[in-house]
Chain A
Amino acid sequence: MAIQTVGRVLGTDDSTPLEFWVAVANGQHLQLDDIIALDRILPTGDKVAIYGIVGQVRARHEGARFDSDVFLIADGVLPADVSEAAQIQVTRVVPETFVPPLPGAEVRKAVDEERDEALDMTDVEHRLPAGLTRDGQPVVLDLEFIDGTKGAHVNISGISGVATKTSYATFLLYSLFNSGVLGAAATNTKGLIFNVKGEDLLFLDHRNTRLDEDERARYALLGLEAGPFRSMRVLAPPRKGDPNATPATGARTRGVRPLYWTVAQFCEQGLLPFLFADAEDERQQYTIVVQSVTAQLQRCARQSHTSDGAVRIDGRTARTFSQLVTIICDKLLPEDPDEDADPQWTGRSIYTGTINAFVRRLSSAERHVAHLIRADIDDAETHAIDLDSQQVTVVDLHMLHDRAKRFVVGVVLRQAFEAKEAAGTAEPLQFVVLDELNKYAPRDSSSPIKEILLDVAERGRSLGMILIGAQQTASEVERRVVSNSAVRVVGRLDAAEAGREQYGFLPAVQRQRATILKPGSMFVSQPRLPVPVLLEFPFPAWATRVAEADLGGERSDQPADPFDGLT
């Protein structure tokens, strides 16, 4: 194929090894995100290939001095030429001799192999399909920057409602499991997804009925077969007030397991601090009380030897969370005002006011988490949360109150993390998809959950626990969580947010464009390239809501209209 020259490096703006301008030739055009290549022959005779992406394009009248000259020019009175130029952000220089391209050098569009060179994809051994450029060409990420070999974690920012964050997180997961990039390990690799909003992620294992042939073809371009996740389990909290602990999931009924902990697990595993994970809690005195009570509960749980998940505390049995709260309150605030509280439970030198603060918060949590901590179900112990039985485990949080959400996320994450620690090997990998990171790892405070997330972010790489985190605003998330992510993805941003330092990896033009990105497209910044690349990913091949789900023979237990048939 003949190489097509689209223009020449211009000499009226500085040309640098990182950025330069190209004057577009007559009859040619360059648009944003086009990929270009050019060569420079050094005085030594060596050839340096320079590759780049079009970051900005401009057109102007040459020969006009006043804005209003445009009318004269359009009327054919004043002569002027239209000049078009494109700013190039250099992606690669091969070999790494950082010389500027010379003015006048011919610039060509990079296609086929040269395009792969430009995006540094030619010598990627483990290729993870990550999306398509706007011209419909596949882009791969280097798995080694995700699986922990050279880097780990993915962080996604973007305002909600433009279908990018969780959709892309699930797309990446699908790509990881189905592209073959993980090889034989794919079967045992696990995904843990926290569903925070609506029922969006409860139908990942159903085909999406709205997927058309065009989108299917885009999957094919990426080397993927369009289809749902194959193996999935949903863990959902029980319905409130339901003595059988039936999971409350709404439309989804199959493959759902209830999500709760027995009182014994709660005490023995020391889960109490996860109830006090609000941002302001850390600054309060009563954390000392939390620690003392947690220690006492652990002690009691070890001594009680009940088999039904209940805990005996000094002769009283706690079978429900309410009972447990009552017992704890009695320990801390004896009925007889003259009697001192047990210092083993309160901690030493604690004022009554502090104890009251603890009790107040514990009581207020009771209403939100009572259905999650219980020993009133038969075989309660067998309902231990199992993250390994299926490839993908979706933990449904969307019905829970914020305090309960934090509790569940913290506890499940800790369980998964401790399991990885105990396993001692990074493989098979455990991927965790968590949206609303700003809630769980806020920038300005600390909490038990944030500690876990920091652990994952900093040690997960070597332990094989990979976080695919998302948030609307990276500026509100703990810096270390974001900065440990090798791959950063930015969907549409609020204009004020786009200006913050957390997006320093986006050049100015990309920041501006981030405010107008359309759904399904985003900038992906990865360690191999100095310039973020605009990617699109295909429409999900799995249902993202019940209306899209191909339920096949599966029938819901409930009629679509619960009042159907009533007169």
Chain B
Amino acid sequence: MEFSVESWAPEYGSSLNVSSSEDAEDLADATVERELDNWAPIDPGPATRPDEIAFIDGIQRIDARIWIHENGISTPAVCVSMAAGATVCAPGTAITTGIRVARSLVAPAASTAGPIGTRHATYEFVPAQDETPEATYLAIHGRRTELEVGVARSVSCGLIVFDGPLRGYRDPQGVGYIKTHHKVYLPQAVRAVLGDLADGQRTPLFFLSGGQARGRWSWYLRLPGPRVHPMSGIVRLELPGTGTAAEAVQRAEYVSACLPQFASEPHKESRAPQNLYPISGIERELRRRLGDAHLLERALRIAAGHGT
């Protein structure tokens, strides 16, 4: 396979934020725990610390944009490094574990792309539907989710918190943890409850269904921290949509009591309090594991035959 490395790439070295898969078509049933008239902030139970809690996260970085040349036609593609891992917290220890690193050449399935071997790493071919940015992102996203699910399966914990939506992970230990809100799912009548949440309080449960993803139990929780605007510190959580509402409420109580103690502080974490300490720790470790971007880019140029 003949290719060359684009010398000017705007995303070079960037972490490339893939928009979350919150589905616009999701429908929320906000009456599963309380009637809409009774919606009000719910006080947390006493803070609990699970024996073991795992946090799963993944990151990706574009190492280079390349052109694949075949028969005089050039097709754009990207070389991406991705990593996923878990932090398992037990009283007194927080251990980063199960780290998986993947390097992918994301190119349209129709191209003749194959894996690229360099001095430092091999970029496996990951086909994208076409050459549009959206398709490329989806392909990257899919590969990263695979990694994260793989990591989740490698840890045995009663509570596994995913940084992001559950994305089809159905095991009962899983909890989705969503920091960015592209959409507010609550009916207009009860949205004001979000602003009324005090530190550690949660909203009643609601059930999401109807979109591409399967049904999930969900609720909002406010993490302790400075309140700059009404949505400061608010995160949304997801549970797999299995079992009864009562079981889900019990689980939600438990999760809501566990998470606030992992909330970060602004002077240590720019995305405080939502970016939990274990997650910021693992992100740092994962970035390290991605390796040096300059080194990898040079390796790619050498592999392309026009670098030293």
Residues of A within 8 A of B (CB): 63, 65-66, 68-69, 72-81
- 29 residue pairs of the A-B complex, CB under 8 angstroms, read A63-B96, A63-B285, A66-B268, A68-B268, A69-B268, A72-B94, A72-B277, A75-B91, A75-B92, A75-B94, A76-B89, A76-B90, A76-B91, A76-B94, A77-B89, A77-B261, A77-B262, A78-B94, A78-B277, A78-B278, A78-B280, A78-B281, A79-B87, A79-B89, A79-B278, A79-B281, A79-B285, A80-B281, A81-B96
CB distance from A83 to the nearest CB of B (A): 13
Q: Mask for B81-94, Cβ within 8 A of A = 1, else 0?
A: 00000010111111
- Report yes or no: B284 in contact with A63, Cβ–Cβ below 8 A: yes
Contact of B96 among A65, A68, A74, A79 (CB under 8 A): A79
Flag whether B208 is at the interface (Cβ < 8 A).
no
Chain B residues closer than 8 Å to A63, beta-carbon distance? 96, 281, 284-285
Bound state CA distance, A63 and B279, in angstroms?
12
Chain A residues closer than 8 Å to B284, beta-carbon distance? 63
CB distance from B289 to the nearest CB of A (A): 12
Flag whether B192 is at the interface (Cβ < 8 A).
no
Q: How many A-B residue pairs have CB under 8 A?
A: 45
CB distance from B88 to the nearest CB of A (A): 8
Chain A residues closer than 8 Å to B262, beta-carbon distance? 77
Bound state CA distance, A350 and B267, in angstroms?
83
Flag whether B105 is at the interface (Cβ < 8 A).
no
Chain B residues closer than 8 Å to A73, beta-carbon distance? 94
Bound state CA distance, A533 and B99, in angstroms?
44
Which 5 residue pairs of A and B lie closest in terms of their CB atoms, listed nearest first?
A79-B281, A79-B94, A79-B96, A79-B87, A78-B277
Flag whether B282 is at the interface (Cβ < 8 A).
yes
Flag whether B109 is at the interface (Cβ < 8 A).
no
Bound state CA distance, A74 and B91, in angstroms?
8
Interface residues of chain B: helix, strand, loop or mixed (majority): mixed
CB distance from B108 to the nearest CB of A (A): 38
Chain B interface size, under 10 / 10 to 19 / 20 to 34 / 35 or more: 20 to 34
Chain B residues closer than 8 Å to A65, beta-carbon distance? 268
Known: A63-B281, A63-B284, A63-B285. A76 touches B93 (CB 8 A): yes
Chain A residues closer than 8 Å to B277, beta-carbon distance? 72, 77-78
Within 8 A of A (CB), among B273-293: 277-278, 280-282, 284-285
Bound state CA distance, A78 and B89, in angstroms?
8
- Report yes or no: B92 in contact with A76, Cβ–Cβ below 8 A: yes
Chain B residues closer than 8 Å to A75, beta-carbon distance? 91-92, 94
Bound state CA distance, A407 and B123, in angstroms?
86
Within 8 A of A (CB), among B231-290: 261-262, 267-268, 277-278, 280-282, 284-285
Known: A63-B284, A63-B285, A66-B268. A77 touches B278 (CB 8 A): yes
- Report yes or no: B268 in contact with A80, Cβ–Cβ below 8 A: no
Chain B residues closer than 8 Å to A78, beta-carbon distance? 94, 277-278, 280-281
Most interface-central of A63, A69, A79, A80 (chain B CB within 10 A): A79
CB distance from B242 to the nearest CB of A (A): 29
Bound state CA distance, A76 and B278, in angstroms?
9
Within 8 A of A (CB), among B196-233: none
Bound state CA distance, A75 and B95, in angstroms?
11
Known: A63-B281, A79-B285. A74 touches B268 (CB 8 A): no
Chain A residue with the shortest CB-CB distance to B288: A63
- Report yes or no: B95 in contact with A79, Cβ–Cβ below 8 A: yes
Given contacts A72-B277, A76-B90, A79-B282, 8 further A-B contacts (CB under 8 A): A63-B285, A76-B89, A78-B280, A79-B87, A79-B89, A79-B95, A79-B96, A79-B285
Bound state CA distance, A175 and B267, in angstroms?
63
Chain A residue with the shortest CB-CB distance to B267: A66
Bound state CA distance, A77 and B87, in angstroms?
9
Bound state CA distance, A81 and B261, in angstroms?
21
